[in-house]
Structure 1
Amino acid sequence: MENKAAPANRVLTITRVFDAPRDLVFAAWTDPGHLTRWSAPHGFRISHCSGELRPGGAWRACMVAPDGAELWLGGVYREIVHGEKLVFTHAWDGQDGQPEPPTLVTVVLKDLDGKTEMTFRQEGFASDASRDGHKGGWSQGFERLGELLGELGGRSAR
């Protein structure tokens, strides 16, 4: 039987420390009003964001590219530990409108004396190019997250 698992190098892990409390970082990940302000690369925007924050609950979003193209995506929450952990599937809609094969995202938040260490992991990419593209997009989004957290009462990110 062939092993269909993605190669280990098709895992994306990004760690950031935000000068903001864990509950605020968690809220930025789970409040649609906050997500629309940070969860896209520079030049993109989120025009729609909704979901049912519970294990088994679905989420859906639309990212709008600088040229106006709408990129729809969604998934299902698998695990939620308030203030500590989110696990959810992440799948882009294909050209036929059907979801492409999902990746799995895990976000772990740890308290560092009032700051928050966020470890982001996304796995199951179909290709190295997809993983690398997501790395750039998420990295820019996390820059925007740091800015938002500063506005919401945190201080900065590194």
Structure 2
Amino acid sequence: MTHAHAGSAVAEHELSITRLIDAPPAKVFRAWSEPQWLMKWWGPHGMTTPECEMQLWVGGLFRTLMRTADGTEYNNQGVFLEIVAPRRLVFTDAFRPGWVPAAKAFMTAVVTFDDEHGKTRYTARALHWNAEDCRAHEEMGFHQGWGQSLDRLVEVVTQQMPD
């Protein structure tokens, strides 16, 4: 097991994506933490996110409803574990609000927004409890899906959001 400063240790069952975004961290953080902006980019191409609820505090609800073109819906919910505006968001589906354990924990996400000369070094990490879930997430299309969401996020922060 790797021991390092909290948040910097590489998890055993981790998938991640990173990109330099031509927008300041505060703006990218807002696109992640304000539902009206998150709904514009959340999910891969061809999906919409018509619903998003956020209680932006530790233990607060984070819920999204994604819809495919054929109307299939995916309701995801969990809670925020850490919020350090505008640098870091951590959330998990392991709990529901009130620290009620979920039926099945799948992942914890650690999203960081590091300043690089006024731009944002964006990193999204998906940490899984076991190799099976990690492999399943990869086979579901983690890199493609999260990459397409990231393309959409970049478009929102560079072309749609006011400074």
The two structures, once aligned, show a CA RMSD in angstroms of: 1.8
What amino acid sits opposite 1:123 in the alignment?
A: L
What amino acid sits opposite 2:122 in the alignment?
A: M
TM-fit CA distance, 1:153: 4.8
TM-fit CA distance, 1:136: 1.7
Cα contact 2:51–2:66 (8 A) shared by 1: yes
1:146 aligns with 2:148: no
> Which aligned pairs between 1:46-61 and structure 2 lie closer than 5 A?
46-61=49-64
What is the number of residues matched between the two proteins? 141
Q: Where does residue 144 of structure 2 map in the other structure?
A: 136
Q: 1:46 to 1:146 in 2, by over 3 A?
A: same
Q: Where does residue 38 of structure 1 map in the other structure?
A: 41
Q: 1:135 to 1:99 in 2, by over 3 A?
A: farther
For residues 44-69 of structure 1, give each alpha carbon's deviation from its aligned partner in whole angstroms, at most 9, with x where no partner exists. 00011011000110111100011101
Q: Where does residue 115 of structure 2 map in the other structure?
A: 111
For residues 73-124 of structure 1, give each alpha carbon's deviation from its aligned partner in whole angstroms, at most 9, with x where no partner exists. 0110000001001110147xxxxxx754230000111111110101111011
Q: Please, which runs of 5 or more residues in structure 1 have no aligned partner?
A: 1-6, 92-97
What amino acid sits opposite 2:113 in the alignment?
A: L
Cα contact 1:59–1:76 (8 A) shared by 2: yes
TM-fit CA distance, 1:33: 0.5
Q: 1:16 to 1:90 in 2, by over 3 A?
A: farther
Aligned-pair identity in percent equals: 36
Report the TM-score when normalising by structure 2: 0.80
TM-fit CA distance, 1:135: 2.2
Q: Where does residue 32 of structure 2 map in the other structure?
A: 29
> Which aligned pairs between 1:90-101 and structure 2 lie closer than 5 A?
90=93, 100-101=104-105
1:121 aligns with 2:125: yes
> Which aligned pairs between 1:59-74 and structure 2 lie closer than 5 A?
59-74=62-77
Residues in 1 aligned to 2:93 and 2:147: alpha-carbon distance in whole angstroms: 16
Residues in 1 aligned to 2:104 and 2:66: alpha-carbon distance in whole angstroms: 16
Runs of 4+ aligned structure 1 residues displaced above 4 Å come to: none
Residues in 1 aligned to 2:22 and 2:157: alpha-carbon distance in whole angstroms: 8
1:19 aligns with 2:22: yes
Residues in 1 aligned to 2:14 and 2:68: alpha-carbon distance in whole angstroms: 25
